[in-house]
Amino acid sequence: MDINYYKEQLQAKEDMLARTTGFLSEIQNSLTEKNNYLANIQQDIFDSVNFAKLIQTSLLPEVEILKIFFKDAAYKISQQIGIGGDTIFIKSTNSGVVFCLLDATGHGIPATMLSISGSLILNDITSSIEIDNPSVLLKLLNYRLHKTFNNDKRSIAHFEGIVFYYSTKQNTLSYSSAKGKALLVNLKGDIISLESSKTSVGENPNTEFERFELPIKKGEKLLLFSDGLTDQFGGEHDKKFSVSRLKQLLSDHPHKDVSELKEIIYQEHKAWRGNNKQTDDLSYKLIEF
């Protein structure tokens, strides 16, 4: 073979390399463009979530309202992605104060929309009617959810939670619970789980929510919480934080005021979670009578 043959082979390989390099360069440019496009979309999503968080946070009530009626009060809310379905509501009336904690179905944006709707509906109900019965308030919320979010005779909006009403005239505390979660720490140090119905708000338009009277004494504490607090996975064996662990935590700090307890619960929960992702929206409210 003469040298021209080798020159032709070399030229062919150089041409193939040039075409391959050009093709790879086109792919690289295309990937860069798509990455920039996705980065812009991601930034838009982050900006939207942050703005939604600002809107939802603006609806949170002032805890000082509760401090007018009780010795002390505090609450913590930590939505899973910055926004979420947990709702804290506090509203003073002509004869007392209504306070509640609700947990909407789902997570993220849909749950956030339900949470905001729930807050607005509760505010509308308590502004237009003098409510002194928590079971009536849950029933009205249930009715409004079915009327507003009705899909083939079924509400697509559900809440679990608990509503309290404190009457200044009668010095009584009553509550109504729709799968809600609350613990009472009495003066003996006993921790009592409050009774609850087995039906959520929005599940059935004809649901009747039972009203309970809760005798209270000065120095007792009340803890309302969503299941995001107790269902968080973590610890050495990656198990749920659990109600029993929460009760033990309260037992370990019987003389702490509610502001301190709020931080103790948060820090213990954070340590328990470790490197795990937050399982659910999380909220809790503490009151000392």
Using one digit for the tens of pLDDT, what is the confidence trace for 109-129?
889 999 999 999 999 999 888
- Whether the predicted pLDDT of 130 surpasses 80: yes
Q: Which is higher by pLDDT, 47 or 132?
A: 132
Tell if the pTM clears 0.75, that is, is over it.
yes
pLDDT of residue 283: 97
72: buried, middle or exposed (CB in 10 Å: 19+, 13-18, 0-12)?
middle
pLDDT of residue 228: 95
pLDDT of residue 11: 74
- Overall average pLDDT of the 13-17 stretch: 74
Q: Tens of pLDDT along 189-206?
A: 899 999 998 889 988 888
pLDDT of residue 89: 97
pLDDT of residue 151: 61
Neighbours of 218 (CB within 10 A): 9
- Overall average pLDDT of the 145-150 stretch: 80
Confidence of residue 40 (pLDDT cuts 50, 70, 90): confident
| 122, 141 Cβ separation under 8 angstroms | yes
